[in-house]
Structure 1
Amino acid sequence: MPDPLMTLVDDAPSSRQVEDLLQPHRRLIARLRRSEALSTGDVEAALRQMTELASTVLRVERVSVWRLCEGGGRIECLDLYSRRTGSHEKGMSLGIRQGPTYFAALDTERCIAAHDARTDPRTTELFQTYLEPLGIGAMLDAPVFLHGQMVGVVCHEHVGAPRYWRLWEELLAGTLSDFVAHVMEAEERAVAQAEVARYRAHLEALVEARTKELRASEQSFRDLFEASPTALVLSRVPDGRLVLINSRARQMMQLPSSVGNGEIDTARFYESLEDRDRILEDVRCQGFVDGRETRMRTFDGQPRWCQISARVITYDGEMHIAAGLNDVSGLKDIEQRLREAAMKDPLTGAFNRRHLFDVGAGELERARRYDRSLAVAIFDADHFKQKNDRHGHAVGDEILVLLSKIARSQLRQSDVLARFGGEEFVVLFPETSLDDAFSVTERLRERVAAAPVETAAGPVAQTISAGVVAWDRSESLAQMIERADRALYRAKESGRNRTERG
């Protein structure tokens, strides 16, 4: 009887088919980022939407999201979607004793791709208690990391025979786990904002009730300030000097205990003094600011993204600014990764076709307005299909990744490299003549041909063919690429491993 896993490997899609399969990945990112449930803080609805979309795109029967319980000994299900019944469940739990190897893998691996879950050493312990009763044959599980710690896992479960997970599916699973981390971070952020709001209301009530006897209650105020679960600072309005800073704020901003109150200016903690001045101006004009996200830095210069809520109060008979700080650096990192995932090809790291045309529209307008030159090159890997068929798609992927890496090493920071489809890449050269673009492309071609590509199958000789054109001021970017593609075709017809002008 043929091995079902080998059958799945033999049926692996071509690179062009992989490109088509990745389109749901990009649409998924866009849909999740625009999710109304996420924007309104409805965490349960956001997770339900994600599990349903993941089930459709990955074609799996079951998708679930689990959170690591306090102590790390169990994971609890936040949402389980069954594609067959269209239903959602939650509340189930799985203990570390049922699968200690699986729990260990969650802490160390970016993605657990168990093609045959019954025999995979990371999941086989779950066979009797979990896999066999549910008929699960393959699992694709992506741990969720928040602030550098594993806090949960997104599980994609294929019911039936074993299934070989493709690279694009593993990449998608990782992106979905990043989205869940984004949801959990947003939930933490909402809780922190509520805490700041509750404390601010309490502080206002306290200040109003105690205005006449402020001096007598100064020590009580300091005690309350220090006991707050929120990072709080109090600074003088005239000179910005810190008067009070509680332990939470000292820890967040890495302020040594040797630095006393009144010895440091708040300006030290801002990446940009303009940001500080805008906050101070708004506080002076309105009396407060709420939830202002600002780039800051710690006492020793480490960058931080903080959400600031501040207002003017009277302390010790003088005007001061009381501010609450919430560190949102982790959320900003996740947002940046989601933005990059939406505009980059996940395999090669080059920009995708959509981003190429977005940037290209602006460069064409700039070249037209300021009478600047512009050039485009298109290149692809010679005999790529034969190498794919001979060595396998994994080797083909390695070739594409290396071509992208070599191309980036030969290009300027202002040049735009994009994977156009399959084994084709396009380079946009702003403010570049045809001769200069041709020279750069030739250097790239020579660099690729100079040495074989080191792959899992051993060294593979590789060359590229390319076409280069200059903008004639009457055509669109798509028309330029079409002319460059015709020049590429001439290079192929002339024997390959060459560059032709268009």
Structure 2
Amino acid sequence: MKKTEPSRLAPAFPTSLFAQLAEATNDVIIVTTPDMELPGPRIVYVNPAFTRLTGYTADEAIGRSPRMLQRSGTDRVTLDAIKRRLVAGLEVHEKLLNYAKGGERYWLDLRIVPLRDEVGKITHFAAIERDITMDKRRLDELEMVADRDGLTGIPNRRALLRVIESEIAVLRSRSTARPYGRDACLAFFDVDHFKSVNDAHGHGVGDAVLLGIADRLTENLRRSDALGRMGGEEFALWMPGVTLRDAQELVDRLRRIVSEQPFETPSGPVKVSVSIGVTAFQPIDNLVHLMNRADTAMYSAKKAGRNRVVALEGT
């Protein structure tokens, strides 16, 4: 007689054990209804980890929308992307900023999966959320350090060029281009005879001068302007929303602010001047073209006698 093989089917796993897992995990679990239009989706379940993270009790959360955790700082683009995937019945994996009951900000690694019945209809969405606030803070700190000039604390070359390149992309994508020279301008600053300062007083004094220039420029910029140190004794200034004539006046005022008063250094007051080249963005420009033109204008200012501004129209 042939022996009967033991069944390969595992015994059923009771749903009550899933509930125990959800209650015990450190990850936040939220289950909602599937309706995406206001006032939905509505929360039908939260686990204790949700209360520990958000400060809301289950009674306070159930029946409300997860939008209760969102405020103006929550990225609208990410929220729209989440909604599109859920409407399409797809899983979601995003990082999202939310707000606790007391207003504290926290970052989530968020996964949302659709739950379906026997015929494949979506009955609920389940969100599994992990608090990554500390990881995000450490990453932000590392990015800030990487984007800052070590001496002056202002944005470094990489950070400033990233801002300029991003804004150029926006300017070039506008459906109705403004007249040439009305959108933004770029200026390069170079400290005159800076090698002589280092040779005469030492690099510590030179560093004090560069730090003083960065501070003085920063204190006198418009809120919309972006200043960065390009390296050595060279700085750059991005000025959105100005004509070339306006930009020339702005940077000439900064030139006077730098040159009229000496800088305090370990060796006493040191007076320096800057040569500045400025040019206007044009719709045909890319970042390299714009920088080359500003650089050419700056060297023209130095050749013309230093301590002056030269403006260069695009070609």
Normalising by structure 1, report the TM-score.
Answer: 0.47
For 1:112-154, what per-residue CA distance to the aligned partner results, in whole angstroms no more than 9, with x for missing partners? xxxxxxxxxxxxxxxxxxxxxxxxxxxxxxxxxxxxxxxxxxx
Report the equivalent of 1:371.
179
Contact 1:352 1:418 in 2 (8 A): yes
State the match for 2:131 in structure 1.
327
Q: Give matches, 1:453-472, under 5 Å.
A: 453-455=263-265, 457=266, 459-471=268-280
Aligned-pair identity (%) = 24
Partner of 2:151: 347
For 1:427, the aligned partner's letter is: L
Matches within 5 A, 1:433-472: 433-455=243-265, 457=266, 459-471=268-280
Q: RCO greater where, 1 or 2, for CA within 8 Å and sep 6 or more?
A: 2
Structure 1 residue matching 2:257: 3-state secondary structure: helix
Give the direction of change, closer, same or farther, for the CA distance of 1:313–1:376 in structure 2 (3 Å limit). closer
Q: 1:429 to 1:265 in 2, by over 3 A?
A: closer
String of CA shifts for 1:336-375, please: whole Å, max 9, x gaps: 4555555553333233168538836964974995333154
User: Is residue 46 of structure 2 the alignment partner of residue 237 of structure 1?
Assistant: no
The answer to which structure has the higher helix fraction is 1
Instruction: Name 2:66's counterpart in structure 1.
Output: 266
Inter-partner Cα distance in structure 2 for 1:376 and 1:292? 36
C-alpha deviation, 1:225, in angstroms: 2.1
Relative to structure 1, is the Cα distance of residues 472 and 405 closer, same or farther in structure 2, using a 3 angstrom cutoff?
closer
- Aligned residues, how many? 281
The residue number in structure 1 matching 2:52 is 251
Cα offset for 1:310?
A: 2.5
**Letter of the structure 2 residue corresponding to residue 303 of structure 1:** R
Residue 267 of structure 1 deviates from its aligned partner by 1.1
Contact 2:194–2:233 at 8 Å: present in 1 too? yes
| 1:295 aligns to 2:104 (yes or no) | no
Partner of 1:483: 297
CA distance in 2: counterparts of 1:254 and 1:444, whole angstroms: 50
| CA spacing shift, 1:445–1:230, aligned 2, 3 Å | same
Corresponding residue SS for 1:407: helix
TM-aligned CA distance change 1:291 to 1:466, over 3 Å: same
- The one of 94, 106, 111 aligned to 1:304: 106
**What amino acid does structure 1 have at the position aligned with 2:32?**
S
Give 5+ residue unaligned stretches, structure 1.
1-204
Residue pair 1:230, 1:324 contacting (<8 A) in 2 also:
yes
Q: Do the aligned residues in 2 keep the contact of 1:230 with 1:325 (CA within 8 Å)? A: yes
Shift of 1:398: 2.5
Pair 1:331–1:447, CA change in 2 (3 A): same
Q: CA RMSD in A?
A: 4.0
Q: Distance in 2 between matches of 1:323 and 1:484?
A: 56
Alignment partner of 1:460: what SS? coil
Shift of 1:268: 0.8
Once the 2 structures are TM-superposed, how far is the Cα of residue 435 of structure 1 from its aligned partner? 3.0
Measured in 1, the distance between the counterparts of 2:126 and 2:58 equals: 22
Q: Is the Cα–Cα contact under 8 Å of residues 491 and 500 in structure 1 kept in the other structure?
A: no
